[in-house]
Amino acid sequence: MSTMPAVENPVERFLRTDRMPHIWCPGCGIGTTVSCFARAVEECVSDLDELIIVSGIGCTGRVAGYLEFDSFHTTHGRAIPFATGLKLANPQLKVVVYSGDGDLIAIGGNHFIHAARRNADITVICVNNFNYAMTGGQIGPTTPLDAVGTTSPYGVCERPFNLPFLAESCGAVYVARWTAYHVRQMTRAMCEAMNKRGFSFVEVITPCPTLYERRNRLGSGLDRMQWFKENSVIKNGVDTRECDIAFQQKIVCGKFVDVDRPSLLEMVEAKMASVLHRRRWERMSREQQKPIAMRPMKG
């Protein structure tokens, strides 16, 4: 019997392999996003020691624990303010918040809008699987109208958030949405988001076959990927007001926002420099404001 030559998984060096197997279900889309993220890091981040991953609580909240960077698994909904403090205290670091829709948008919704408003220098990756999966499939603020969950067995009666619109209207300088099917586009979006100064936001729609797809009779993880392939409409630059997600309707994907606006750190720097005129401040700023070592993505 011939043996295959051993080929190293290209993203393995970014993973804590001593923590495998992971907790995610077969067909779950979170692992796909992690693989894309690792490839984005490989392409775009030059100093891996300066990359910090911050997660909240939930299935996606476990991402921090599987990525081999300095990583923080914080409290439910509070990854963003943790990341804000981390970045302000050491502007040299590249801080990425990686969490789920319930964590970031329900319990953490207030922090999300304020971080976008102040244009905090962080990247937020939101894995949206339309439900609370860790606790067994409850509905959340992104569950489409009429879909069912364990806490809404007759169907959701509330309109969900349109995350790209929410992020843009609050001040995000980069906003993109892709599905787990769009691995190349997702990777590129993560890379672009990390290269951005200020609040950048990437939403990734993923299957949750164990809970959301099963309860709503939408098939397996693979069926769902097929569905994403056939029902995604790529509209780069489209008005984010057109990005609402309705149950089993077309999903608008693309890069919607990519603008430049002074980030929180840049605003603080400019204000202090203009008001204080202190040699001390200038010296301190020089030390703190070394440019972030990043590379543009190839190709």
Partner 1 sequence: MSGENDGILTGAHFLDGDHACAEGAIAAGCNFVAGYPITPSTEVVERLAWRFPSTGGTFIQMEDEIASSIAIQGAVWAGAKAMTVSSGPGISLMMEHIGLAAMAEVPCVFVNVQRGGPSTGLPTLPAQADMMQARWGSHGDYEVIALVPNSPQECFDLIIHAFNLSEQYRVPVLFMMDEVIGHMTEKVVVPPRDQIKVTPRRYTKLPPGEYEPYRAGDDLVPDFAKAGDGHRFHITGLTHNERGYPVMNAECQEQLVCRLVDKIRNNVEQISFFHEDDLADADVVVVTYGISSRVSMRAIREARKKGIKVGHLRLVVVWPFPEEYIRRLAKRIEAFVVPEINLGQVVLEVERCTAGACDVISIQHAGGAVHRPQTIYDAIVEAVR
Our CB check for partner 1 shows the closer of 259 and 284 to be 284
Select the span of 4-12, 77-85, 227-235, 245-253 touching partner 1 (CB under 8 A): 77-85
State the minimum distance, in angstroms, from the CB of residue 39 to partner 1.
Answer: 19
Within 10 A of 69 (CB to CB), how many other CB atoms are there?
Answer: 17
State the minimum distance, in angstroms, from the CB of residue 264 to partner 1.
Answer: 9
Q: Does residue number 69 form part of the binding site for partner 1 (CB under 8 A)?
A: yes
Dist CA 84 CA 243 (whole Å): 27
Of these, 68, 146, 223, 258, which contacts partner 1 (CB under 8 A)? 68
User: How many angstroms separate the Cα of 180 from the Cα of each of 118, 123, 184, 199?
Assistant: 29, 19, 10, 22
User: How many angstroms separate the Cα of 53 from the Cα of each of 13, 176, 274?
Assistant: 16, 19, 33
* Contact criterion met (CB below 8 Å) for 162 and 243: yes
| Bond from prior residue into 21 cis (ω within 30 degrees of 0) | yes
- Amino acid identity, residue 139? I
State the minimum distance, in angstroms, from the CB of residue 253 to partner 1.
Answer: 30
State the minimum distance, in angstroms, from the CB of residue 65 to partner 1.
Answer: 6
State the minimum distance, in angstroms, from the CB of residue 296 to partner 1.
Answer: 22
Task: DSSP letter for 158, please.
Answer: S
Q: Does residue number 284 form part of the binding site for partner 1 (CB under 8 A)?
A: yes
Within 10 A of 80 (CB to CB), how many other CB atoms are there?
Answer: 29
Q: Which of 67, 39, 24 is nearest to 189 (CA)?
A: 39
Dist CA 216 CA 147 (whole Å): 7
Q: Does residue number 22 form part of the binding site for partner 1 (CB under 8 A)?
A: no
State the minimum distance, in angstroms, from the CB of residue 38 to partner 1.
Answer: 14
Q: Does residue number 289 form part of the binding site for partner 1 (CB under 8 A)?
A: no
Dist CA 205 CA 233 (whole Å): 13
SS3 content of the chain, % helix, strand, coil (to 5): 40, 20, 40
Q: Does residue number 19 form part of the binding site for partner 1 (CB under 8 A)?
A: yes
State the minimum distance, in angstroms, from the CB of residue 19 to partner 1.
Answer: 6
Q: Does residue number 223 form part of the binding site for partner 1 (CB under 8 A)?
A: no
Please give the torsion angle defined by the CA atoms of residues 258, 259, 261 and 265, in that order, rounded to the nearest 10 degrees: 20
Select the span of 48-56, 223-231, 236-244, 245-253 touching partner 1 (CB under 8 A): 48-56
Dist CA 119 CA 172 (whole Å): 6
Q: Does residue number 159 form part of the binding site for partner 1 (CB under 8 A)?
A: no
Binders of partner 1 among residues 180 to 199 (CB under 8 A) are: none
Binders of partner 1 among residues 81 to 140 (CB under 8 A) are: 81-90, 92-93, 110-111, 114
Question: How many residues bind to partner 1 according to rule CB under 8 A?
Answer: 41
Site residues for partner 1 per CB under 8 A: 16, 19, 49-50, 52, 54, 64-65, 68-75, 78, 80-90, 92-93, 110-111, 114, 268, 272, 275-276, 278, 280-281, 284
